[in-house]
Amino acid sequence: MVSARHVVLLHAFPLHAALWRPQRDFAPPGWRYNAPDFPGFGASSETAVTSMDAMAESVLRTMDGLGIERAVIGGLSMGGYVTLALYRMAPERFEGMILADTRATADNDTQKEARRKMIATVREKGSSAVADEMLPKLHGARSQRERPELAEAVRGMIVGNKPASIAAAVTAMMDRPDSTSMLASISVPTLILCGEEDVLTPPSDAEALHTGIPDSHLVLLPGAGHLSNLETPAAFSTAVKEFLVPLKS
């Protein structure tokens, strides 16, 4: 019996691993999807951490605990930042890479100031205030118009996370390094996805990743915003499936 190959999917901020539920039923034959929570998020019992490297180390611990030596590893938004940190740390653990609605660049001064304000907000007013601030930016215009139920599902994930964990993750994102210079060194097949209506990490960020990573394929998803895997789950999952199938041979 041939053992399954693995895909490790890393969630966005300020959500948790339930983000990937729509993809669970789309795994092609011979592949198994794994979606861990970062420390302090979702069902994780670990203490929240304040760096991308520490989040990447938590993914390695999960992979080791599951006996996964190598996998296709990918993430959406913050999960993409952690994916790039993990590749710097342990490129030998990658069979392939998936980067969705994310970017290689570090925060600029304006973005860092917005992060500081969010830390103050979550500490003073809690997770629900972060949900209020972020929800209008997380979904594309079509989803807001045609799938209003998504907002409540996403809000439930956000408010289910502890304020301290959200603040720690904001610190990690604010202090993350610029990964642009390492893109050319990524030597595994890479799938880049982005919602065409993403206003947080727009298609131009995805195109920059595609330009920088030698063996990469870019898929833009019409009608999707920042949470493209939730907003257009069939199109997102089909793109991942079509990326994985050739890797199996």
- Tell me the one-letter amino acid at 131: A
Measured CA to CA, the distance from residue 246 to residue 215 in angstroms comes to 14
- What's the pTM? 0.97
Residue 164's CB: how many other CB atoms inside 10 A? 14
Percent of the chain topping pLDDT 90: 94
- The residues, ordered by sequence, that sit 6+ positions from 61 with a Cβ below 8 Å of its Cβ are none
Q: Can you list the domains of the chain with their CATH numbers?
A: 5-248 (3.40.50.1820)
pLDDT digits (tens, 9 = 90+) for 130-155: 999 999 999 999 999 999 999 999 99
Average the pLDDT over 112-117 and give the result: 98
77: nearest Cα among 14, 135, 129: 14
Residue 167 reports pLDDT greater than 70: yes
- Phi/psi for 216 (5° steps) reads -125, 155
User: How far is the first Cα of the chain from the last one, in angstroms, to the nearest whole number?
Assistant: 16
DSSP strand pairing (94-100 vs 216-221): unpaired
Q: Cα separation of 199 and 203, whole Å? A: 9
Element (H, E) at 57: helix 52-65
- Whether 9 shows a pLDDT value over 60: the answer reads yes
